[in-house]
């Protein structure tokens, strides 16, 4: 696996950590986060990033109360070789 340089801003929400409170969705200025129609194992409709339109503003990161549920990466971020990231 080689280094990967991010081409677009990216928000990743961990479905199993999300509690479906919706604060990120309410806060997102671009309206690119939505509740998923599926449940996670805790029984919450988790939030997810629709795939395009993120500006990397990190508002959702600070809106989310869970330390690990939301991660935001700006365009040009270089992922280290060993980091596995689901890239859409």
Q: Does 35 bind another protein (CB under 8 A)?
A: no
Beta strands in 1-88 (DSSP E): 4-5, 10-13, 33-39, 45-49, 70-73, 78-79
Query: Rounded to the nearest whole angstrom, what is the least distance from the CB of residue 87 to another protein in the complex?
Result: 14
Give the C-alpha separation, 53 to 8, whole Å: 9
The number of beta carbons lying within 10 Å of the beta carbon of residue 32 is 18
Residue from 29, 81, 82, 88 in contact with another protein (CB under 8 A): 29
Q: Does 71 bind another protein (CB under 8 A)?
A: yes
Q: Does 87 bind another protein (CB under 8 A)?
A: no
Q: Does 34 bind another protein (CB under 8 A)?
A: no
Residue from 27, 30, 36, 53 in contact with another protein (CB under 8 A): 27
Please report which residue ranges of the chain form alpha helices under DSSP H. 23-27, 59-63
Give the C-alpha separation, 88 to 75, whole Å: 14
| Contact footprint for another protein (CB under 8 A) | 6, 14, 16-17, 19-23, 26-27, 29, 42, 44, 56, 58-59, 61-78
């Amino acid at each position: 696996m080689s280094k990967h340089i991010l081409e677009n801003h990216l928000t990743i929400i961990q479905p199993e950590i999300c509690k479906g409170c919706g604060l990120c969705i309410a806060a997102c200025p671009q309206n690119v986060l939505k509740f998923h129609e599926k449940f996670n194992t805790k029984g919450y409709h988790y939030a997810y990033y629709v795939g395009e339109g993120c500006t990397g503003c990190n508002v959702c990161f600070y809106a989310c109360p869970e330390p690990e549920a939301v991660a935001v990466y700006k365009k040009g971020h270089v992922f280290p070789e060993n980091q596995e990231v689901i890239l859409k």
